[in-house]
Amino acid sequence: MIEHFDPRQHARTYSKDLGTPSPAAGAAPVSLTIDGVAIRVPAGTSVLRAAALADINIPKLCATDSLEAFGSCRLCAVQVEGRRGTPAACTTPVAEGMQVTTQNERLARLRRNVMELYISDHPLDCLTCPANGDCELQDMAGAVGLRQVRYGFEGENHLQAAKDESNPYFTFDPSKCIVCSRCVRACDEVQGTYALTIDGRGFDSKVTAGQGEAFMDSDCVSCGACVQACPTATLMEKSVIDAGQPEHSVITTCAYCGVGCSFEAQMKGDQLVRMVPYKGGDANHGHSCVKGRFAFGYATHPDRLTAPRIRDSIDQPWREASWEEAIAFAAARLQAIQAEHGRESIGGITSSRCTNEETYLVQKLVRAAFGNNNTDTCARVCHSPTGYGLKTTLGESAGTQAFDSVMQADAILVIGANPTDAHPVFGSLMRKRLRQGASLIVADPRRIDLLKTPHLADAQHLPLRPGTNVALINALGHVIVTEGLEDHDFIAARCDTAAYRAWRDFISEERHSPEASEAITGVSAEAVRRAARTYASAGNGAIYYGLGVTEHSQGSTMVMGIANLAMATGNLGREGVGVNPLRGQNNVQGACDMGSFPHELPGYQHVADPVARGRFEAAWGVTLDDEPGLRIPNMFDAAIEGSFKALYVQGEDIAQSDPNTQHVEAALSALECLIVQDIFLNETAKYAHVLLPGASFLEKDGTFTNAERRINRVRRVMPPLAGKADWEVTQELARALGYPMDYTHPSEIMDEIARLTPSFAGVSYAKLDERGSLQWPCNAEHPLGMPTLHEDDFPIGLGRFAITEYVATEERTNRRFPLLLTTGRILSQYNVGAQTRRTDNQVWHDEDVLELHPADAELRGIRDGDWLGITSRAGQTVLRARLSERMQPGVVYTTFHHPGSGANVITTDNSDWATNCPEYKVTAVQVEKVSQPSAWQQRFAAFDRAQRDHLAGAAQRESAP
């Protein structure tokens, strides 16, 4: 008897298409025979899947295991003892005692007939077709033993149908389409975009994008799910058409966003041919977005830095150097600066783009070799309030759920996040749950695309004014408390009673009522009351939030307000609920876990804690500073003031990503030694004295930790372009400074992390290879990790309600600056754009624009496309206008993907009171029509040109005879 229940026991199920999805977990077992083979599978399994699990391969075309069965091609016909006809195996569920026959002459004839019809209207160019060898139609023609096509090829056909090559990454060749509708279903079921339809009937039926438009003009978001689902060469990656079929593959993790999708990197030698989302990926289950699947060309872009470079000052050209020379130069500079200006005069910035192991090494370098705690990371500018707020209230600085938990949610409250653009694969999963009937509440100044989800059951939008989050969360809390919607059992059992009572008294005050808050937030009291009732009464209420929560002067207060709401309603500690920060960068969770912050050693162990510090001192063989070091903004201030002289930056572009660009530029210019390790000459690197080429995620081994605390393996698929992975470079710098590091592989770094970090104690590469991924905490108590946090208790024992007084930001509108600017991301570009700007994703967004409401535009005589000067208290920049009703009047919006746009020239250095996370989301501005770039943009362009010349000059000189 063959038994198939836990797909994890059958890794091969991920490489084989089993035809239909697995049934819901926990279904009762059913026994049947297929071609005489006894098999036991969960009820709800299709006959097609049961047979495939027993290695009996029934021919199929319209079925694939990422999509619900459709039953259109009839190729999978079988016979079932005691039943009439030849049912389709893909749409027939197994039944107890069923006896199935999959092969006999009658079935063979039937299948050949089906195939004859398909092939009679299909080009016979298999040998020159790019899908040759990877085409299910070709495979099925072989499988059914097709030898002739009795209908001939002369009849009416679709062979002349025109190709659509509008998408930069894939082609649509309708002459090869068999109208199986797998693409349409993939777009609907998996991606949730509904961009494709089957138009017409019978012979005339055909796949169309949008209203018969080109793919690029339709709603298609280029996720590629249809391309992956297509069994023929109709939808085909251009990279495969150009390079030919891949020969081998390596499973690795996307390096773009915090979803952490797993991919098969399909290779031809060292050439990456395509990225195919991995079905066994626990975060993405075989889905992806345009960035992870298609935007990998940057890894081999000619702009990649491939040799180290050094120079004495930033107005000089660089000189190409060997690795040894560059590292010795950097180390000598750091030592000389410390000798002259003291131990605290240097520091390092770790990267949320690099692996856990690399991040761990950089903070270790700073603490052990630099001898201070001047280490920080870009989470400072995104999710540091999450760390502070969740640690204070729930005792753990991380989201509480796995992504899959959203499928159990009944009400989904999304605050200051835009999942379909910034976390697209999770956005698709969320949309799936919303289509199933969960209620959606979006608190956001903009009408985000999630609100336009097709077949949405119940959607509420709370269009609050930027900067008023805390007033809104308090109003929601007020309704929950005053309308008796609390979960008293949960509060009594799990929360600190005194803190709860204090919060209850505070939140019940009339000044927090929706009616009193309406004037502050701009959201009607009625809408707030309805939203609070929906969240609190739905059953499972889940909160997802993003940078629209954290990047405020009250970011930490708001995170605590969110935790208060979840505790008050008992929405913690089980599937379908929770408090879920949507982390932006691929490894921002990991960068925080690995001790990047100046006050915390790996695993959030405070540097002042003598026991924790003692363990690190013993392992690292040094005495560690017990005082927190400088945060990034403190480093900038100290550099300008003159006490901070040198900085090592691995894989971060602080000159583009941090607020108040002119202040950052002044700080970087003031440094005596800036060492930048990156794959490109980014904006920060233009101020560098030492350039150390970085390695892309394809060029190294390691791990990333995604937004659900999931540790995923990153595997090297090609050698580092400059010869070294980033961890090797950090190690060599440490050695040059006289501090020994002798790792031979990142797995040894992870072993050290596991020894020193309680939440990682059970993590090893061997276990990751065996399990696929692990969600921390992973230790003796939870050897396979923990998908849901706080099931029985909180790490601090009882949950602590926090008082969340609303304090208006100092950044106010007035007559001079009457509009509020807020910033965000779009789907096709990623963060500072260093990677995506070097791919064909540019076709979707080749410049940052300023979105504003038509009413604000009309008032100022602005038309769509006009150049606008945008002035804030910090600076001025110029962007093109885009009129959009997604904005509310009085609020304008832009992205920060292009350095020359200077979005951060206008953002101020206001920041979160607890963590210094900048207030990117609220800047008071004025806009007016202008005709030329701003003064900053002109200076930027000149400096950019000069630094590129310095780089090119170095290359030319080195190649000169």
> Rounded to the nearest 10 degrees, what angle do helices 356-364 and 746-756 cross at?
70
Cβ closer to ligand FES: 87 or 953?
87
Q: Which positions from 114 to 153 touch ligand SF4 by CB under 6 A, shown as an x/- string? A: ----------------------------------------
Distance between CA atoms of 318 and 697, rounded to whole angstroms? 26
Distance between CA atoms of 543 and 416, rounded to whole angstroms? 11
Distance between CA atoms of 806 and 552, rounded to whole angstroms? 12
Q: According to CB under 6 A, which one of 225, 265, 394, 430 is a site residue for ligand SF4?
A: 225
Distance between CA atoms of 176 and 168, rounded to whole angstroms? 20
Q: What single-letter amino acid sits at 198? A: I
Report the nearest approach of ligand FES to the CB of residue 94 (Å): 15
Choose from ligand SF4, ligand FES, none: what does 76 bind? Cβ within 5-8 Å by kind: ligand FES
Q: According to CB under 6 A, which one of 34, 63, 295, 691 is a site residue for ligand FES?
A: 63
Distance between CA atoms of 624 and 367, rounded to whole angstroms? 7
Report the nearest approach of ligand FES to the CB of residue 140 (Å): 10
88 counts as binding ligand FES under rule CB under 6 A: yes
Of 60-68, 104-112, 115-123, 794-802, the window that binds ligand FES (rule: CB under 6 A) is 60-68
For 147, 326, 607, 728, 739, the CA distances from 365, given in Å and listed in that order, are 67, 17, 15, 12, 8
Q: According to CB under 6 A, which one of 41, 47, 135, 289 is a site residue for ligand SF4?
A: 289
Look up residue 104 and give its two tokens: 């006999």
Choose from ligand SF4, ligand FES, none: what does 63 bind? Cβ within 5-8 Å by kind: ligand FES
CB 894 within 8 A of CB 821: yes
Distance between CA atoms of 830 and 100, rounded to whole angstroms? 51
Choose from ligand FES, ligand SF4, none: what does 260 bind? Cβ within 5-8 Å by kind: ligand SF4
Choose from ligand FES, ligand SF4, none: what does 305 bind? Cβ within 5-8 Å by kind: none
933 counts as binding ligand SF4 under rule CB under 6 A: no
62 counts as binding ligand FES under rule CB under 6 A: yes
Choose from ligand SF4, ligand FES, none: what does 195 bind? Cβ within 5-8 Å by kind: ligand SF4
187 counts as binding ligand FES under rule CB under 6 A: no
The CA-CA-CA angle for residues 430, 555, 378, to 5°, reads 80
CB 259 within 8 A of CB 282: no
291 counts as binding ligand SF4 under rule CB under 6 A: yes
Measuring CA to CA, which residue among 87, 93, 101 is closest to residue 27? 93
Choose from ligand FES, ligand SF4, none: what does 947 bind? Cβ within 5-8 Å by kind: none
Give, for 30, the enclosing helix (H) or strand (E).
strand 29-34
CB 478 within 8 A of CB 486: no
- Strands of the sheet containing 690-693, edge to edge, are 319-320, 309-310, 690-693, 673-678, 646-650, 346-350, 375-377
Q: According to CB under 6 A, which one of 50, 73, 196, 273 is a site residue for ligand SF4?
A: 196
Q: According to CB under 6 A, which one of 292, 371, 387, 467 is a site residue for ligand SF4?
A: 292
Q: Which of residues 67-86 bind ligand FES (CB under 6 A)?
A: 71-76
Measuring CA to CA, which residue among 475, 485, 482 is closest to residue 514? 475
Measuring CA to CA, which residue among 844, 917, 794, 944 is closest to residue 397? 794
Report the nearest approach of ligand FES to the CB of residue 73 (Å): 3
Cβ-in-10-Å burial (0-12, 13-18, 19+) of 759 comes to: buried
Report the nearest approach of ligand SF4 to the CB of residue 265 (Å): 12
Q: According to CB under 6 A, which one of 56, 89, 149, 183 is a site residue for ligand SF4?
A: 183
Report the nearest approach of ligand SF4 to the CB of residue 541 (Å): 24
Cβ closer to ligand FES: 72 or 384?
72
**Number of residues assigned to the chain:** 961
Of 193-201, 244-252, 400-408, 548-556, the window that binds ligand SF4 (rule: CB under 6 A) is 193-201
Choose from ligand FES, ligand SF4, none: what does 370 bind? Cβ within 5-8 Å by kind: none
The residues facing 581 across adjacent strands are 545
Cβ closer to ligand SF4: 218 or 564?
218
Cβ closer to ligand FES: 74 or 447?
74
Q: According to CB under 6 A, which one of 48, 135, 254, 756 is a site residue for ligand SF4?
A: 254
CB proximity list for 452: less than 8 A, separation 6 or greater: none
Question: SS3 breakdown of the chain: % helix, strand, coil, rounded to 5?
Answer: 35, 20, 45
Q: According to CB under 6 A, which one of 98, 180, 327, 849 is a site residue for ligand SF4?
A: 180
Q: What single-letter amino acid sits at 499? A: A
Choose from ligand FES, ligand SF4, none: what does 679 bind? Cβ within 5-8 Å by kind: none
CB proximity list for 502: less than 8 A, separation 6 or greater: 801, 803
Cβ closer to ligand FES: 52 or 283?
52
182 counts as binding ligand SF4 under rule CB under 6 A: yes
69 counts as binding ligand SF4 under rule CB under 6 A: no
Choose from ligand FES, ligand SF4, none: what does 181 bind? Cβ within 5-8 Å by kind: ligand SF4
Choose from ligand FES, ligand SF4, none: what does 74 bind? Cβ within 5-8 Å by kind: ligand FES
The pairing of strands 99-101 and 170-172 is unpaired
Measuring CA to CA, which residue among 604, 425, 467 is closest to residue 910? 467
Distance between CA atoms of 921 and 819, rounded to whole angstroms? 12
CB 871 within 8 A of CB 925: yes
235 counts as binding ligand SF4 under rule CB under 6 A: yes
**Helix runs in 569-600, H state only:** 588-593
Of 89-97, 226-234, 361-369, 373-381, the window that binds ligand SF4 (rule: CB under 6 A) is 226-234
Q: Which of residues 399-458 bind ligand SF4 (CB under 6 A)?
A: 424-425
CB proximity list for 30: less than 8 A, separation 6 or greater: 40, 41, 42, 43, 45, 94, 95, 96, 98
HSE-up of residue 3 (Cα within 13 Å, Cβ side): 5
Of 231-239, 442-450, 764-772, 927-935, the window that binds ligand SF4 (rule: CB under 6 A) is 231-239
Of 288-296, 325-333, 568-576, 911-919, the window that binds ligand SF4 (rule: CB under 6 A) is 288-296
61 counts as binding ligand FES under rule CB under 6 A: yes
Cβ closer to ligand SF4: 233 or 756?
233
Give strand ranges (E) for 715-813.
773-775
Report the nearest approach of ligand SF4 to the CB of residue 193 (Å): 4
265 counts as binding ligand SF4 under rule CB under 6 A: no
Of 99-107, 221-229, 241-249, 387-395, the window that binds ligand SF4 (rule: CB under 6 A) is 221-229
Say which residue the tokens 């990454």 belong to.
169
The CA-CA-CA angle for residues 835, 839, 843, to 5°, reads 120
Distance between CA atoms of 632 and 35, rounded to whole angstroms? 67
Q: Count residues near ligand SF4 (CB under 6 A).
A: 40
Q: Return the residue nearest ligand SF4 (CB atom).
A: 292
Q: According to CB under 6 A, which one of 18, 141, 144, 223 is a site residue for ligand SF4?
A: 223
Say which residue the tokens 């008071």 belong to.
924
Cβ closer to ligand FES: 71 or 628?
71
3 state DSSP class of 237? strand
The pairing of strands 248-253 and 262-268 is antiparallel
Prior bond of 777 cis (ω within 30°): yes
Q: According to CB under 6 A, which one of 72, 138, 193, 249 is a site residue for ligand SF4?
A: 193
Residues engaged in binding ligand FES (CB under 6 A): 60-63, 71-76, 88, 90
Residues engaged in binding ligand SF4 (CB under 6 A): 177-183, 186-187, 191, 193, 195-196, 207, 220-226, 229-232, 234-235, 254, 256-257, 259-261, 284, 288-289, 291-292, 424-425
